Amino acid sequence: MATAAPLTCTASDLAPLLGDTTNATAVADYLCSRFSTISDRFVDTSYAVDNTYLLFSAYLVFAMQLGFAMLCAGSVRAKNTMNIMLTNVLDAAAGGLSYYLFGYAFAFGSPSNGFIGKHFFGLRDFPSLLADYSFFLYQWAFAIAAAGITSGSIAERTQFVAYLIYSSFLTGFVYPIVSHWFWSADGWASPARTSGPLLFGSGAIDFAGSGVVHMVGGIAGLWGALIEGPRIGRFDRAGRSVVLRGHSASLVVLGSFLLWFGWYGFNPGSFLTILKAYNTSGDYYGQWSAIGRTAVTTTLAGCTAALTTLFSKRLLVGHWTVTDVCNGLLGGFAAITSGCSVVEPWAAIVCGFVAAWVLIGFNKLAEKAKYDDPLEAAQLHGGCGAWGLLFTGLFARGVYVDEVYGAQGRPHGLFMGGGGELLAAQIIQILVVTGWVTATMGPLFYGLHKMKLLRISGEDEMQGMDLTRHGGFAYAYNDEDDQSVRPGGFMMRKVEPTSPSPDQGQLTESPSIV
Mean pLDDT over 343-370 rounds to: 96
CB-CB contact of 290 with 400 (8 Å): yes
pLDDT in tens, 442-463: 999 999 999 999 999 999 999 9
Confidence of residue 123 (pLDDT cuts 50, 70, 90): very high
Count of Cβ atoms closer than 10 Å to residue 309 Cβ: 25
> pLDDT at residue 389 above 70?
yes
* Structural domain that includes position 314: 56-276+285-470
If you write DSSP's letter for every residue of 216-242 in order, what string do you get? Answer: HHHHHHHHHHHHH-PPTTSB-TT--B-
Q: Is residue 412 part of a domain?
A: yes
Distance CA 181, CA 190 (A): 6
Q: Does the residue 452 lie in any domain?
A: yes
Q: Is residue 319 one of the residues assigned to a domain?
A: yes
Which of 25-34, 194-203, 303-312, 323-332 has the lowest average pLDDT? 25-34
d(C-alpha 224, C-alpha 129), whole Å: 40
* Domain presence at residue 24: no
The answer to whether the peptide bond before residue 127 is cis (omega within 30 degrees of 0) is yes
Nearest to 333 by CA among 357, 305, 312: 305
How do strand 496-500 and strand 507-510 relate by DSSP bridges? antiparallel
DSSP string, 139-194: HHHHHHHHHHHHHHHTTTSB-HHHHHHHHHHIIIIIHHHHHHHHHSTT-TT-TT--
Count CB-CB contacts under 10 A for residue 224.
Answer: 28
Task: Give dist(CA 85, CA 445) in Å, integer.
Answer: 21
Single-letter code of the amino acid located at 345: P
- Residue 278 and residue 403 in contact, taking contact as beta carbons nearer than 8 Å: yes
Is 256:57 a contact under the CB 8 Å cutoff? no
DSSP result, 28-59: HHHHHHHHHHHHHHHHHHHHHHHHHHHHHHHH
What pTM value is reported for the model?
0.87
Q: Check which CATH number belongs to the domain holding 390 and give it.
A: 1.10.3430.10
The whole-angstrom separation of Cα 72 and Cα 236 is: 24
Please tell me whether residue 210 adopts helix, strand or coil conformation. helix
Question: Does any domain span residue 151?
Answer: yes
**pLDDT digit string, tens, across residues 476-498:** 766 665 555 555 444 445 444 55
Domain count for the chain = 1
pLDDT at residue 36 tops 70:
no
Residue type, 227: I
pLDDT tens-digit readout, 71-120: 999 999 999 999 999 999 989 999 999 999 999 999 999 888 999 999 99
At residue 435's C-alpha, the angle toward residues 160 and 213, to 5°, is 60
